[in-house]
Amino acid sequence: MSQTPEERLNSLGIELPAAAAPAANYVPYVITGNLLFISGQGPSGPNGFEYTGKVGDTRSVEDGIAAARLVAINILAQAKAATGDLARIVRCVKLGAFVNCTPDFSDQPKVINGASDLMVEVLGDAGRHARFAVGAPNLPFDMTVEIDAVFEIKIN
């Protein structure tokens, strides 16, 4: 892929929002060495959380996928705030994902593909990552999905 991540976002019709402020006593990201750790992000949009509720109950798998995609956009917004330029991302190393779901729901990986797919769309092969996707009995603010991320970045 010869396009920059910003150009790919633009071709996908995605404008990154302002990076969200932390909801408690933590920082939104930490850079140590050449690693960027992004704190857990939720499916927030211009009107607050766009997706709340449990997959398998009040939310469908498709809603969960859309929520995970929105979370990935918010992760990229934090990465841009941290680095100043998404072109500094060498690789998405790992995504850690929680799905607010019913006890019998077992398609967490399918839900989190919404985030994984976007990382590859925006970062190309550098977006391929390790990950986990697990179910949770509840998430803060009843959000449908929460995901954190680790990126390798170029050091200026």
pLDDT in tens, 1-37: 479 999 999 999 999 999 999 989 999 999 999 999 9
Beta bridge partners of 133: 97
- Taking CA atoms, 103 is separated from 8, 11, 15, 48, 129, in Å, by 37, 38, 35, 26, 27
Q: Please write the tens of the pLDDT for every residue from 88-136.
A: 999 999 999 999 999 999 999 999 999 999 999 999 999 999 999 999 9
Please compute the mean of the pLDDT values over residues 67-80 and round it to a whole number: 98
> 135 lies in a domain?
yes
Position 99 in a domain? yes
Domain assignment present for 20: no
Determine, yes or no, domain membership for 55: yes
Instruction: Give the pTM.
Output: 0.96
Tokens of 48: 């607050």
CATH classification at residue 73: 3.30.1330.40
pLDDT at 28: 97
* Structural domain contains residue 149: yes
Full residue range of the structural domain in which residue 76 is found: 5-14+28-153
Whether residue 7 contacts residue 87, with contact meaning beta carbons closer than 8 Å, is answered with no
- 141 pLDDT exceeds 90? yes
Number of domains composing the chain? 1
Instruction: Tell me if 22 is assigned to some domain.
Output: no
Residue 56 lies in a domain: yes
d(CA 151, CA 88): 10
In the prediction, which pLDDT does 156 show?
A: 74
| Residue 105 belongs to a domain | yes
pLDDT score at 23 = 84
Q: Is the pLDDT of residue 139 over 70?
A: yes
pLDDT at 71: 98
